[in-house]
Amino acid sequence: MYTAIILAAGKGARTTLSVNKTNLLLDHKPLYKHSVDVFKSAGVNVVLVINKDDEEFIKKWSNNTLYTYGGETRTDSVNEGLKLVKSKYVFIHDAARPFINKKMIEDIKELLNKYDAVLTCKNVVNTIYDKELNVIDRNTLLEAETPQAFSTEKIKKAYEEKGVKNYTDDISVFKDYFNDEIGLYFHDYNNIKITTKKDVEKYLMPNYKIGHSFDIHQTDKNRKLILGGVEIKSDFGLLGYSDADVVLHVVAESIYGALGIGDLGTHFPDTDNKYKDLNSQKLVIFALEKLKEKGYVLENMDITVFLEKPKLSMYINKIRKNIAELLNVNESNINVKSSTYEKLDAIGSGKAIAAEAVCLIKRSN
């Protein structure tokens, strides 16, 4: 009795991504599949309208779902989907609205008993101006959403008569050819459409991500020992292309790892002379910039320094404070500890110092 056409044929141009946004994963499954699964759970048949380039991807996730190829425009894609609909009523829904729920579908079914067209909508709550800065009475406005639902016979007829005109939604098509009263379905659920890159970052990026790094440097009697940005009293330092601050190296690189942007060598290659003797605090500052750029903040970090000597107990708090200041977080978010290597291997014999860091980052928006 009911079929849902789910439109997933777009190219995601407004997200500036190289992939169809509806194929991006939300809670471990593609965006479009959230709508597919909800409609099926409500006893509604599904016709998925896809981009032909995505066919192999769609088959992997939805091999038991009827699908067809979309057209050049949204209007063309809906028309292709309608060709496969044989039920009395049809829902038309954008796959980029993944938060639809079963209650919404059941409520709209009830309205279809009275109306041949139902618009899912919300009242406009913000003050709206036109481009001449005249305030528009928001009480006269509605914010249109999908799903929109129809008598299949009537919406097919409207689309058959649409001519060359392109529409941004389906109620517009219906209203061009029928004077019927439209049923309005008001709701207060989250039914947002994932449209822009910011939307993708906000709703599709994981809430938390973990990063890890391990680094080791040989000792060098001709260099100062700098750990965590703090100069340590010692008769040796560490060998390296930069200042060889092994602690700040793992601090920065663990964040790079959590963000999935490579490693130290990716951004600061030792083949580039401008990074010779580089102050490693710059590596951490770069990590902080990338955190902000990607929409994350540091939740906490645990750092271990492995060395036989010198003893770090008198420096730990200073190192911790310095790292917290560099990352613009409270000291309680940073933990620093040291451990010997029980006289084993290069570290135990005093030929090297190593450090390890694990960090947890959290989405900031």
| 28 Rama sector, left if φ>0, alpha if ψ -120 to 50, beta otherwise | left
Q: What does the angle CA 164 – CA 168 – CA 172 come to, to the nearest 5 degrees?
A: 80
Q: What is the pLDDT of residue 119?
A: 98
Integer Cα distance of 213 and 249 in angstroms: 8
Q: What is the pLDDT of residues 249-274, one digit of tens each?
A: 999 999 999 999 999 888 988 887 88
Integer Cα distance of 187 and 185 in angstroms: 7
Ordered strands of the 66-69 beta sheet: 66-69, 45-50, 2-8, 89-94, 142-151, 117-123, 183-186
For 185, half-sphere exposure in the C-beta direction (CA atoms, 13 angstrom radius) is 26
Integer Cα distance of 359 and 265 in angstroms: 19
Give the class (CATH, top level) of 206-363. Answer: alpha beta
Question: Nearest to residue 42, comparing CAs of 150, 116, 147, 192?
Answer: 147
Q: DSSP per residue over 250-319, as a string?
A: HHHHHHHHHHT---HHHHS-TTSGGGTT--THHHHHHHHHHHHHHTEEEEEEEEEEE-SSS--TTTHHHH
Q: Distances in Å between the alpha carbon of 6 and those of 39, 43, 172, 199, 239?
A: 10, 15, 18, 20, 59
Query: 2-203, superfamily in CATH?
Result: Spore Coat Polysaccharide Biosynthesis Protein SpsA; Chain A (3.90.550.10)
Question: What confidence category does residue 15 fall into, taking pLDDT thresholds of 50, 70 and 90?
Answer: very low
- Find where tokens 């299949």 sit: 152
Q: What is the pLDDT of residues 145-186, one digit of tens each?
A: 999 999 999 999 999 987 667 889 999 999 999 999 999 999
What's the chain's average pLDDT?
92
Give per-residue burial for 86-113: e unless 16+ CB within 10 Å, then b.
eeebbbbbbbbbbbbbeebbeebbebbe
Range of lowest pLDDT (104-113, 118-127, 162-171, 238-247): 162-171
What residues have CB less than 8 Å from 188, skipping those under 6 apart?
Answer: 122
Integer Cα distance of 243 and 232 in angstroms: 13
Integer Cα distance of 42 and 310 in angstroms: 67
Question: What confidence category does residue 18 fall into, taking pLDDT thresholds of 50, 70 and 90?
Answer: low
**Do 174 and 117 contact (CB within 8 A), yes or no?**
yes
Fold identical between 2-203 and 206-363?
no
Integer Cα distance of 249 and 257 in angstroms: 12
Q: Taking residues 32-45, what's their average pLDDT?
A: 96
**E strand segments, the chain:** 2-8, 25-26, 29-30, 45-50, 66-69, 89-94, 117-123, 128-129, 135-136, 142-151, 183-186, 208-220, 225-227, 230-232, 237-238, 296-306, 334-339, 352-363
Q: What is the pLDDT of residues 178-227, one digit of tens each?
A: 999 999 999 999 999 998 877 787 777 778 999 999 999 999 999 999 99
Q: What percent of the chain has pLDDT over 90?
A: 78
Selected residue with higher pLDDT from 202 and 120: 120
Integer Cα distance of 183 and 118 in angstroms: 4
Extents of the domains making up the chain: 2-203, 206-363
pLDDT at 3 over 70: yes
Residue 72, classed as helix, strand or coil, is coil
Beta bridge partners of residue 3, listed in sequence order: 45, 90
Q: What is the pLDDT of residues 274-300, one digit of tens each?
A: 878 789 999 999 999 999 988 899 999
Between β-strands 135-136 and 128-129, what pairing exists: parallel, antiparallel or unpaired? antiparallel
Following CA atoms 207, 57, 191, 84 in sequence, which dihedral angle do they give, to the nearest 10 degrees?
A: -170
pLDDT at 16 over 70: no
Q: Taking residues 321-343, what's their average pLDDT?
A: 95
Cis peptide before 269 (omega within 30 of 0): no
